[in-house]
């Protein structure tokens, strides 16, 4: 019997020693941390699936096998985002001290984990809905509009319109809390302290090493840390990169980054021959002292305009802009006209200074302080009075600051309007009232003058004044009613302006800041997503400013075209070209999802990491289903040369602060 007890004691002693050794080796801590990381990975993958489902109309041709590849590829970006956001949590968790088993200490870690990853999940949920407007994951420039004075009103409206997003987020938070509490870290009954602290230091170092690798996205030393562009590895089309990515990663990777680097595709001499933004009019004709008025209409995608879509619905499509349709009949209008960006802050530099926003919005980039010579500055030197009108609260979107840099002498915002009764409650003064105010103020200007106005009412939350409810035809999209309202406001402006003495001596240009929601598949492609109207109208009549033109044009062409039409005599800087210059290359550039796009004639080229990643004939292949890269070397080579020359000029001049004519 005594021998039996001795063996039992020895067995218990062995178990105790094993518990001390394994407890001291931090194996439990490693296992718990891995399970908590896995929990967040699962939740982020759920949001990725939801992102795809909520925006499936943009990815209708993705097969199951491609989607699974995207899901697996997304884990690399999820791990990186988790480790960036949870670096403090991981560090506090792995400290090799016994106080980390303290209940209070564990509670602090728990709530830190909930807050950090709750924010990450919220960011992903927001992009379920915001993607439809910007066609990419939100990046660090989201903090620009997050500082707007009406941000609380916008969030309130978001909670109302997208309440399902709040419910989804709460459901994910419930899962996060529930399963976190199931994964508990328990203090070992006894520890061999010399083993515990020595292995704790090793566990600390190895965890830090693996965390750095996870943030970088690779074990390979020569592999550069992953960026948004690496998502293209798992996709066949640039737009699909948004599924691979997650919003926290997209924001983190665009914080305080220098986005542009010098490119050396061509020598200086070769570059100037291929493409130069310095314009030399060589014009001997007399300068036309016409007034110039530019309308930038919020979210007026080309899809909404019946006169530009006569082939839709078997020729029965009427659109939602009856006034613009009538004006197009008396104007020079371009059937292949495009925005250079997808956000409002991209538009104004493009339209009034011929500076596109590539890689990141110009007005929020580190180059926003560069010297520029915009349309207002050039016309101001010719004796023009210049002004910018925007019915939003003064300073909204950073427009007031930029338009001053662009050369506009006066700014008219909500303060100058001076009647809060016409405030829509979110964005600013209703278009109808502000357009009337615009006409009245112009009537007091000394000629010649140049004025630009940016509308606001055709913007989410897509509401119109109560007195107009029920007056407009409903369509399949919410935006169709406010588009009709703004079109009506534009009609009332022209009715009032036509009775004023300056009207006949004015060149009107009407365009949009960007496209918006789409109903037809042809407008859900990377071509359709950027399609907007560009219209030139002379009330006094000009045979050169009538008809529908198929020339490929873009927002950055507006400024040089106006200057060309006025016979502006001096050299100037513009990334775009005069639309009526028959010797210029007429092309379109844009940038989204880490991919440059170039439209030339009937083709669109997709260019990333110094090489072509897609080529489509968008005229015959309207849904861009057939990639013809490598099949038409002549057009591909021509487009690659133009694309490279543009990028080289753009980067060099942005970095070197050379956005002006010497």
Give yes or no: residues 89 and 143 share one domain: yes
Between residues 456 and 404, the one the model is more confident about: 456
- The string of DSSP letters for 280-314 reads -----SPPP--EEEEEEETT--GGG-GGG-TTGGG
Give the CATH number, domain containing residue 487.
3.40.720.10
* pLDDT for 257: 63
Distance of CA 565 to the CA centre of its chain: 32
Give yes or no: residues 329 and 216 share one domain: no
Measured CA to CA, the distance from residue 430 to residue 438 in angstroms comes to 12
pLDDT, mean of residues 28-41: 90
* pLDDT for 80: 94
Last residue of a domain, one of 252, 279, 300: 252
Give yes or no: residues 246 and 291 share one domain: no
What is the total count of domains within the chain?
A: 2
Neighbours of 170 (CB within 10 A): 11
Residues in a beta bridge with 616: 604
Give the pLDDT band of residue 149 (cuts 50, 70, 90): low
Instruction: Reply yes or no on whether the pLDDT at 304 is more than 80.
Output: yes
Q: Does residue 386 belong to any structural domain of this protein?
A: yes
Measured CA to CA, the distance from residue 294 to residue 308 in angstroms comes to 20
29-33, 289-293, 531-535, 589-593: range with lowest mean pLDDT? 29-33
Instruction: Reply yes or no on whether the pLDDT at 647 is more than 60.
Output: yes
C-beta separation of 93 from 20 below 8 A: no
C-beta separation of 323 from 535 below 8 A: no
Give yes or no: residues 463 and 493 share one domain: yes
Measured CA to CA, the distance from residue 532 to residue 391 in angstroms comes to 22
Give yes or no: residues 232 and 320 share one domain: no
Half-sphere exposure of 588 (CA within 13 A, CB side): 28
Between residues 523 and 184, the one the model is more confident about: 523
Instruction: Reply yes or no on whether the pLDDT at 4 is more than 90.
Output: no
CA angle 83, 85, 90 (to 5 degrees): 55
Give yes or no: residues 62 and 203 share one domain: yes
Give the pLDDT band of residue 591 (cuts 50, 70, 90): very high
Q: What is the pLDDT of residues 193-203, one digit of tens each?
A: 666 677 777 77
Could you tell me the two tokens for 260? 């542009």
Give yes or no: residues 152 and 281 share one domain: no
Give yes or no: residues 510 and 485 share one domain: yes
* pLDDT for 192: 63
Give yes or no: residues 393 and 317 share one domain: yes
Give yes or no: residues 304 and 193 share one domain: no
Rounded mean pLDDT of the chain? 89
Q: Does residue 229 belong to any structural domain of this protein?
A: yes
Measured CA to CA, the distance from residue 200 to residue 213 in angstroms comes to 20
Measured CA to CA, the distance from residue 425 to residue 209 in angstroms comes to 51
Q: Does residue 613 belong to any structural domain of this protein?
A: yes
pLDDT > 70: what percent of the chain?
A: 91
* pLDDT for 193: 66
Q: Give CB contacts under 8 A, 24+ apart, made by 445-448.
A: 445/385, 445/387, 445/502, 446/385, 447/289, 447/291, 447/502, 447/505, 448/289, 448/290, 448/291, 448/292, 448/379, 448/382, 448/383, 448/384, 448/385, 448/505
* pLDDT for 8: 47
Give the pLDDT band of residue 400 (cuts 50, 70, 90): confident
Give the pLDDT band of residue 12 (cuts 50, 70, 90): very low
Give the pLDDT band of residue 121 (cuts 50, 70, 90): very high
pLDDT, mean of residues 389-412: 87
C-beta separation of 367 from 259 below 8 A: no
Structural domain harbouring 411: 268-655
Q: Does residue 77 belong to any structural domain of this protein?
A: yes
User: Looking up tokens 């999209």, which residue turns up?
Assistant: 477
Pick from 398, 101, 118: nearest CA to 248? 118
pLDDT, mean of residues 227-240: 80
Give yes or no: residues 446 and 571 share one domain: yes
Range list of β-strands (E), 585-659: 587-592, 595-600, 603-608, 611-617
pLDDT, mean of residues 621-635: 95
Give the pLDDT band of residue 17 (cuts 50, 70, 90): very low
Last residue of a domain, one of 184, 217, 252: 252
* pLDDT for 254: 79
Q: Is 396 exposed, middle or buried (0-12, 13-18, 19+ CB in 10 A)?
A: buried
* pLDDT for 154: 66
| Residue 338 DSSP symbol | E
Last residue of a domain, one of 252, 277, 299: 252
Between residues 337 and 204, the one the model is more confident about: 337
Distance of CA 125 to the CA centre of its chain: 17
Q: Does residue 273 belong to any structural domain of this protein?
A: yes
Residues in a beta bridge with 553: 337
Cα end-to-end span (Å), the chain: 105
pLDDT, mean of residues 135-161: 71
Q: Does residue 390 belong to any structural domain of this protein?
A: yes
Instruction: Reply yes or no on whether the pLDDT at 25 is more than 70.
Output: no
Q: Does residue 490 belong to any structural domain of this protein?
A: yes
Would the pTM of this model clear 0.75, i.e. be above it? yes
227-241, 342-356, 410-424, 604-618: range with lowest mean pLDDT? 227-241
Give yes or no: residues 237 and 317 share one domain: no
* pLDDT for 359: 86
Q: What is the pLDDT of residues 58-115, one digit of tens each?
A: 898 899 999 999 999 999 999 999 999 999 999 998 887 777 778 899 999 999 999 9
User: Looking up tokens 């006569």, which residue turns up?
Assistant: 310
C-beta separation of 365 from 398 below 8 A: no
pLDDT, mean of residues 633-658: 95
pLDDT > 90: what percent of the chain?
A: 66
C-beta separation of 43 from 121 below 8 A: yes
* pLDDT for 313: 94
* pLDDT for 157: 73
Determine which helix (DSSP H) or strand (DSSP E) holds 388, and give its type and residue range. Answer: strand 385-390
Q: Does residue 261 belong to any structural domain of this protein?
A: no
DSSP collapsed to 3 states, 198-225: HHHHHHHHHHHHHHHHHHHCCCCCCCCC
């Amino acid at each position: 019997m005594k021998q039996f007890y001795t063996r039992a004691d020895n067995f218990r002693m062995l178990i105790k020693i094993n518990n001390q050794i394994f407890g001291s080796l931090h194996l439990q801590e490693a296992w718990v941390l891995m399970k908590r990381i896995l929990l967040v990975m699962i939740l982020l993958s759920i949001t990725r699936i939801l992102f795809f489902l909520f925006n499936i109309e943009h990815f209708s041709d993705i097969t199951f096998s491609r989607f699974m590849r995207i899901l697996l590829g997304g884990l690399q970006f999820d791990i990186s985002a988790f480790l960036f956001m949870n670096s403090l949590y991981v560090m506090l968790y792995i400290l090799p001290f016994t106080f980390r088993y303290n209940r209070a200490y564990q509670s602090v870690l728990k709530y830190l984990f909930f807050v950090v990853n709750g924010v990450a999940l919220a960011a992903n949920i927001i992009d379920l809905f915001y993607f439809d407007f910007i066609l990419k994951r939100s990046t660090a420039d989201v903090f620009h509009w997050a500082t707007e004075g009406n941000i609380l009103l916008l969030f309130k409206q978001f909670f109302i319109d997208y309440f399902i997003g709040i419910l989804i987020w709460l459901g994910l938070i419930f899962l996060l809390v529930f399963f976190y509490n199931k994964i508990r870290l328990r203090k070992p009954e006894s520890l061999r302290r010399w083993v515990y602290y020595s292995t704790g230091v090793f566990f600390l170092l190895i965890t830090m090493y693996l965390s750095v690798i996870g943030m970088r996205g690779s074990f390979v030393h020569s592999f550069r840390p992953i960026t948004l562009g690496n998502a293209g590895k798992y996709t066949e089309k640039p737009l699909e990169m948004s599924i691979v990515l997650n919003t926290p990663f997209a924001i983190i990777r665009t914080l305080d980054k220098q986005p542009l680097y010098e490119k050396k595709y061509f020598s200086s001499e070769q570059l100037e021959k291929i493409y130069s933004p310095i314009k030399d009019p060589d014009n001997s004709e007399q300068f036309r002292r016409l007034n110039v008025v530019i309308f930038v209409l919020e979210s007026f995608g080309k899809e909404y305009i019946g006169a530009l879509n006569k082939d839709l619905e078997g020729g029965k499509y009427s659109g939602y802009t009856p006034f613009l349709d009538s004006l197009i009949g008396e104007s020079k209008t371009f059937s292949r006209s495009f925005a250079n960006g997808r956000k409002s802050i991209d538009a104004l530099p493009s339209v009034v200074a011929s500076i596109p926003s590539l890689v990141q919005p110009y007005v929020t980039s580190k180059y926003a302080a560069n010297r520029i010579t915009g349309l207002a500055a050039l016309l101001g030197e010719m004796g023009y009075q210049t002004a910018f009108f925007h019915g939003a609260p003064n300073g909204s979107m950073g427009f007031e600051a930029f338009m001053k840099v662009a050369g506009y002498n006066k700014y008219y915002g909500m303060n100058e309007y001076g009647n809060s009764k016409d405030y829509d409650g979110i964005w600013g003064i209703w278009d109808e009232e502000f357009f009337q105010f615009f006409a009245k103020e112009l009537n007091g200007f000394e000629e010649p003058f140049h004025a630009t106005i940016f509308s606001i009412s055709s913007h989410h939350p897509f509401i119109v004044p109560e007195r107009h409810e029920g007056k407009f035809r409903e369509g399949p999209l919410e935006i169709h009613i406010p588009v009709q309202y703004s079109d009506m406001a534009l009609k009332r402006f022209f009715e009032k302006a036509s009775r004023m003495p300056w009207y006949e001596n004015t060149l009107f240009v009407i365009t949009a800041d960007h496209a918006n929601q789409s109903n037809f598949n042809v407008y859900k492609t990377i071509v359709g997503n950027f399609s907007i109207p560009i219209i030139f109208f002379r009330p006094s009549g000009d045979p050169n400013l009538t008809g529908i033109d198929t020339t490929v044009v873009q927002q950055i062409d507006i400024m040089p075209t106006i200057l060309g039409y006025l016979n502006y005599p001096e050299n100037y800087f513009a990334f775009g070209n005069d639309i009526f210059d028959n010797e210029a290359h007429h092309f379109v550039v844009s940038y989204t999802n880490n991919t440059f796009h170039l439209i030339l004639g009937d083709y669109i080229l997709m260019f990333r990491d110094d090489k072509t990643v897609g080529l489509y004939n968008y005229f015959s292949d309207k849904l861009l289903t057939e990639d013809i890269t490598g099949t038409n070397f002549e057009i591909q080579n021509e487009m690659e040369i133009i694309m490279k020359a543009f990028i080289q000029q753009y980067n060099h001049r942005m970095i070197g602060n050379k956005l002006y004519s010497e």
